[in-house]
């Protein structure tokens, strides 16, 4: 790993968006491959953020600033990756369920999934079941990821899965769920295919589900 | 059942006055209130409540004055006791007086940030967070972080079971409301009731009265999310 990529990882960990933008440009100026900058600069930084967060050495505000930093870097790389025809490993549709407007966790999963090589379709927050169904029809994703932050709105995850079943689309997608009050038992109970307890583990889950499908 | 068992109350401090009014003092053998601040790290509710339960020797009826609190009470084990807990998502339900009222309010405006005695006193609200973040991250990053958290909210509501509490917390709530104007939140006050808590006390005296608004955990059982969800 060249030092510019190491410094890029460090900028992501520190949440220094200004510096990360400069470093991405510098790496590109050096003729480095956008995929290399993503995989060996931005992503390892964010992976380390995930590790520190789970260890309790970083808190949500710092994680958000790191995510914003990675996002700033991704914004520069995205068109270049697309132009280079970089192979995507699958498509993920993400949304926060009906009645719930918390999107921090969902956005984090989206950004990290994009970093991992997925096409991410973010359909927003307070998303009713029919919009998840429309998104399945339109984008034919491998995976639907649903988020809820409140016990009040968790029930909407089950309702959404039922609506997807009734629309005859359940076998077309894998469905994963997450959010602060959600647990694995709840995910099983509502017949989701998986549960991510945090953003990095949700992305790992997406990878294993996409490779199995 | 509860005729022969002593009643022990373990509750969040936020219900202190409401419970004191609703529960005749001679009814409870023991009442312990826990700090509101536990709510901010839900795992602490479980360990604090469990420690208190484990200290009770005589098989008792334990009234848990908590809501589900974001899965904050799941995992609590009844041991050789019976636990009675309101089937409420959180304390806002208790202040409003019923689950139906909470769902109505929720449905009419999902983007509601609730302020109550506990939230104001425990310091967990946007204005207090701003002060904490500003010290740690500087003004610009603090505002950015709060924007991420609160930009989709539409309404800030001060809720209390009594007019006295609404009057008492108004000034504080309005200071928060003024700060939240940057996201266009409108300020409202809702007078709830102590009906749900009154029912809890009535059910404690006769468990046969327990309807779908209550969860009862038999001895050897555990509080699980699905008891509240389905």
If DSSP states are collapsed to H, E and C, what string results for chain B? CCCCCCEEEEEEHHHHHHHHHHCCCCCEEEEEEECHHHHHCCHHHHHHHHHHHHHCCCCCEEEEECCCCCCCCCCCECCCCEEEEECCCCHHHHHHCCHHHHHHHHHHCCCEEEECHHHHHHCCCHHHHHHHHHHHHCHHHHHHHHHHHHCCCCEEEEEECCHHHHHHHHHHHHHHHHHHHHHCCEEEEEECCCHHHHHHHHHHHCHHHCCCCEEEECCCCECCCHHHHC
Q: First vs last Cα of chain A: how many Å apart?
A: 33
Q: Which residues of chain A make contact with B68, given a CB cutoff of 8 A?
A: 151, 181
B1 falls within a domain: no
Residue in the structure block whose two tokens are 């409108």: B186
Average pLDDT, chain A: 95
Domain residue limits at B18:
7-89+194-229
- Residue B2 falls inside a structural domain: no
Res B2: pLDDT? 44
Identify all chain B residues contacting A111, using CB atoms and an 8 Å cutoff: none
Neighbouring residues of B9: CB distance < 8 A, sequence distance ≥ 6: B19, B23, B28, B30, B31, B32, B62, B63, B65
Both B183 and B115 in one domain: the answer is yes
Residues of chain B contacting residue A153, judged by C-beta atoms under 8 Å apart: 110
| Min Cα separation B229/chain A (Å) | 7
Q: A152 at the B interface (CB within 8 A)? A: yes
Contact A106, A78 (CB under 8 A): no
CA of B145, closest CA in chain A: separation in Å? 6
| Residues of chain B contacting A156 with CB distance shorter than 8 Å | none
Closest Cα in chain B, distance from residue A71 (Å):
14
- Please report, in tens digits, the pLDDT of each residue of chain A (213 residues total): 469 999 999 999 999 999 999 999 999 999 999 999 999 999 999 999 999 988 889 988 999 999 999 999 999 999 999 999 989 999 999 999 999 999 999 999 999 999 999 999 999 999 999 999 999 999 999 999 999 999 999 999 999 999 999 999 999 999 999 998 999 999 999 999 999 999 999 999 999 999 987
CATH of the domain at A185: 3.40.50.280
pLDDT mean by block of 10 residues, chain B; 230 residues: 78 89 85 80 83 96 92 92 96 94 94 91 86 95 95 97 95 97 97 95 94 96 89
User: A116: distance to nearest CA of chain B, Å?
Assistant: 23
Whether residues B149 and A104 touch (CB distance < 8 A) is answered with: yes
Q: Assess whether B178 and B105 both reside in one domain.
A: yes
Cβ of A99 within 8 Å of Cβ of B106? The answer is yes
- The domain of A192 spans 90-212
- pLDDT for position A138: 98
By the 8 A CB rule, do B195 and B98 touch? yes
Residue B126 is assigned to a structural domain of this protein: yes
Per-residue model confidence (pLDDT) at position B71: 78
**Partners of residue A120 on adjacent β-strands:** A92
Q: Do B110 and A126 touch (CB under 8 A)?
A: yes
Same-domain pairing of B137 and B152: yes
Cα separation, B134 vs B161, in Å, equals 33
Domain annotation covers residue B46: yes
B-interface mutation test, from A14, A59, A61, most B Cβ less than 10 A away: A61
Q: Does residue B116 belong to any structural domain of this protein?
A: yes
Residues B211 and B168 in one domain: no
- The domain tally of chain A equals 2
Domain boundary among A49, A83, A117: A83
- A97 in contact with chain B, both atoms CB, cutoff 8 A: no
Domain count, chain B: 2
A178 and A95 share one domain: yes
For residues B186 and B204, state if they share a domain: no
Closest partner residue to B89 (CB to CB) among A102, A152, A186 is: A152
Q: What is the CATH number of the domain that holds A67?
A: 1.10.1240.10
> Residue B230's pLDDT is what?
73
Contact criterion met (CB below 8 Å) for A49 and A66:
yes
The reply to whether B144 and B198 lie within a common domain is no
Count the alpha carbons within 13 Å of A34 in the hemisphere toward its beta carbon. Answer: 17
pLDDT at B1: 46
Percent share of chain A, pLDDT over 70: 99
Residues A112 and A180 in one domain: yes
pLDDT value, residue B3: 55
Same domain, B223 and B178: no
Q: pTM of this prediction?
A: 0.90
């Amino acid at each position: 790993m060249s030092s510019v990529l190491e410094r890029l990882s460090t900028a992501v960990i520190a949440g220094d968006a200004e510096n990360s933008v400069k470093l991405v440009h510098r790496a590109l100026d050096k003729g480095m491959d956008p995929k290399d900058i993503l995989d060996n600069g931005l992503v390892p930084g964010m992976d380390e953020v995930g590790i520190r967060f789970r260890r309790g050495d970083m808190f949500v505000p710092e994680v958000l600033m790191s995510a914003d930093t990675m996002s700033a870097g991704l914004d520069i790389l995205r068109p270049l990756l697309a132009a280079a025809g970089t192979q995507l490993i699958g498509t993920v549709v993400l949304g926060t369920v009906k009645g719930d407007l918390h999107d921090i966790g969902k956005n984090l999963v989206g950004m990290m999934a994009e970093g991992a090589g997925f096409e991410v379709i973010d359909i927003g927050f307070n998303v009713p079941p029919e919009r998840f169904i429309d998104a399945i029809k339109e984008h034919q994703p491998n995976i639907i990821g649903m988020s809820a932050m409140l016990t009040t709105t968790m029930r909407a995850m089950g309702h959404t899965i039922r609506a997807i079943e009734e629309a005859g689309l359940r076998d077309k997608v894998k469905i994963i769920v997450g959010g602060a009050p959600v647990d694995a038992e709840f995910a099983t109970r509502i017949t989701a295919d998986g549960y991510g307890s945090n953003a990095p583990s949700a992305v790992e889950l997406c990878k294993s589900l996409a490779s199995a499908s | 059942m509860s005729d022969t068992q002593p009643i022990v109350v373990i509750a969040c401090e936020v219900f202190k006055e409401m419970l004191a009014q609703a529960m005749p003092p001679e009814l409870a053998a023991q009442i312990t209130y826990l700090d509101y601040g536990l709510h901010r790290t839900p795992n602490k509710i479980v360990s604090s409540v469990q420690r208190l339960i484990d200290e009770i020797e005589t098989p008792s009826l334990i009234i848990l004055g908590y809501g589900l609190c974001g899965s904050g009470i799941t995992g609590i084990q009844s041991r050789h006791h019976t636990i009675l807990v309101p089937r409420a998502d959180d304390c806002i339900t208790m202040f409003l007086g019923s689950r139906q009222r909470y769902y109505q309010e929720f449905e009419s405006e999902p983007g509601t940030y609730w302020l109550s005695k506990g939230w104001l006193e425990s310091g967990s609200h946007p204005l207090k967070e701003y002060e904490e973040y500003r010290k740690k991250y500087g003004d610009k990053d603090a505002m950015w972080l709060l924007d991420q958290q609160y930009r989709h909210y539409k309404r800030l509501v001060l809720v209390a079971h009594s007019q006295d509490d609404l009057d008492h917390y108004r000034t504080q709530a309005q200071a928060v409301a003024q700060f939240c104007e940057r996201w266009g939140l409108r300020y409202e006050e809702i007078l709830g009731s102590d009906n749900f808590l009154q029912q809890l006390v009535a059910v404690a005296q006769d468990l046969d009265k327990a309807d779908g608004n209550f969860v009862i955990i038999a001895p050897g059982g555990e509080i699980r999310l699905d008891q509240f969800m389905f």
